[in-house]
Amino acid sequence: MASNFVRSLMGFDSRRAFRVLQFGAQIRLPFYLLLITVVFMSLFAWHVYSAYAELYTMVMTNVPESFQEQILRQTQDFSIVGAAILGGLVLTILGFSIAYTHVLLGPTVPLRRQVQSMKDGNYRTRNKLRKTDAAHQGLADDLNELSSILQHAQSKAQLGLNLRRPDPRPTTAFAISRTPRSEFLLLA
């Protein structure tokens, strides 16, 4: 059971499973948020201690024992509730941070698959991201257009049309250009 959960987190199961996409990026944000929270909570605790420590000592020395027990119980209850709230804050920061970075980094998975497919020479792959992935939609559209251009150029080259091939020397750079008539040329 636990191994299935770990496998789904690391991405070995279905495509729809929640998984940690980029461990460092998804854990770094909650770590920084928790660090900032701990610093400010420490400052707040120091402020409360410095403001009420002397008052607490005065009250505890001048109050009958029956009240001292009640004050100690109330202080302990306050500490337990404060620790529970802090634990809830930590879990909330972790959960929301990981979920939010998952939403931000999630579209990179199909984009990387498409780039890998293009590197392997398959220019027929296209990406259609979810509507919620608007931040990456421009990049997906550009990759789809590039795939289309390269697929068209590849099909023309396979048909044996008169295309100038780039010089095989390593110093020669070439670019694919699109003319207004949608013809594709290799420019040396």
Residue 4 has pLDDT above 70, yes or no: no
* Coil/strand/helix, residue 46: helix
Distance, CA of 8 to CA of 19 (rounded, Å)? 6
> Residue 143: pLDDT above 50?
yes
What's the pTM value of the predicted model, to 2 decimals?
0.52
Residue 37 DSSP SS3: helix
pLDDT-derived band at 110 (thresholds 50, 70, 90) equals confident
Torsion angle in degrees (nearest 10) through CA of 165, 167, 168, 174: -80
- Specify the DSSP element, H or E, that contains 42: helix 23-62
Give residue-wise pLDDT tens across range 28-72: 888 888 889 889 988 988 888 888 888 888 887 888 888 888 888
Indicate if the pLDDT at residue 84 is higher than 90. yes
pLDDT, mean of residues 109-121 = 88
Choose from 24-33, 101-110, 140-149, 157-166 the range with maximum mean pLDDT: 140-149
Tell me how far apart the alpha carbons of residues 172 and 122 are, in angstroms, rounded to a whole number. Answer: 24
Bridge partner list, 175: 187
CA 156 to chain centre: 40
Task: Please report, for residues 42, 70, 81, the alpha-carbon distance to residue 60 in angstroms, rounded to integers and kept in the order given.
Answer: 25, 11, 22
